[in-house]
Amino acid sequence: MHTSAGALCMVLTVAVAWPVFAQPSPLRYGTWMMNISKSTFDPGPPPMSQMRKEERSGDAIKTLVEGVDAKGNKIAYQFTVRPDGKDYPLTGIGVPYGSDTVAFVDVDPFTIDATFKKAGKVTGTARSIMSRDGKTLTVQSKGTNAAGQQTNNVTIWDKH
């Protein structure tokens, strides 16, 4: 009896504590500028500029991205997503892979995995890893661009 009660207590403790451990580090929130010279784009060319702002919105992350793509076109999209693996809408122009939804999963307080979809089909994935000091964000992404080409990008973001 003691063993099963102890096991149940452990399961309940982990289940209740999991949301606390799965939350992104507060250092993640703020404004990030893409460091284009340190980023790699396969295939290129890179955007001319890009800024992202991340903020906490209740138990979700609100992200706003603005910039200029390689052809001089405006990039401006946003999404609010809970890190629960469910799909949430993306709105705006220049969204990654032409996607209409994104899903986040927290790996640990410094790492988030994202899955981008269009009409329910996966168009790309990304892993976002923040440095322990909160000054650098590295995003490794793979997907299919609007031209049907496979992409493999590593973008470096500096906190501002």
Closest-CA residue to 129 (of 142, 143, 113):
113
From the CA atom positions of the chain, what is the Rg in Å?
Answer: 18
Which is nearest to 38 in space by CA: 160, 155, 159?
155
Do 157 and 34 meet the contact criterion of CB atoms below 8 Å apart?
yes
pTM across the whole model: 0.83
Residue 6 pLDDT greater than 90, yes or no: no
CATH 2.40.128.20 fits 25-159, yes or no: yes
Question: pLDDT digit string (tens) for 34-84?
Answer: 999 999 999 989 999 999 999 999 999 999 999 999 999 999 999 999 999
Domain map (residue ranges) of the chain: 25-159
Map residue 93 onto helix, strand or coil.
Answer: strand
Whether residue 19 is predicted with pLDDT greater than 90 in this model: the reply is no
Give the pLDDT confidence of 135-144 residue by residue, as tens digits.
999 999 999 9
Give the pLDDT confidence score for residue 22 in this predicted structure: 53
Mean pLDDT, rounded, of the chain? 88
Instruction: Quickly count: other Cβ atoms within 10 Å of residue 50's Cβ.
Output: 21
pLDDT surpassing 80 at residue 4: no
DSSP state of 134: S
What pLDDT is attached to residue 24? Answer: 72
Distance of CA 100 to the CA centre of its chain: 14
- Arithmetic mean of pLDDT, 122-134: 96
pLDDT at 87 over 50: yes
CA distance 5 to 7: 5
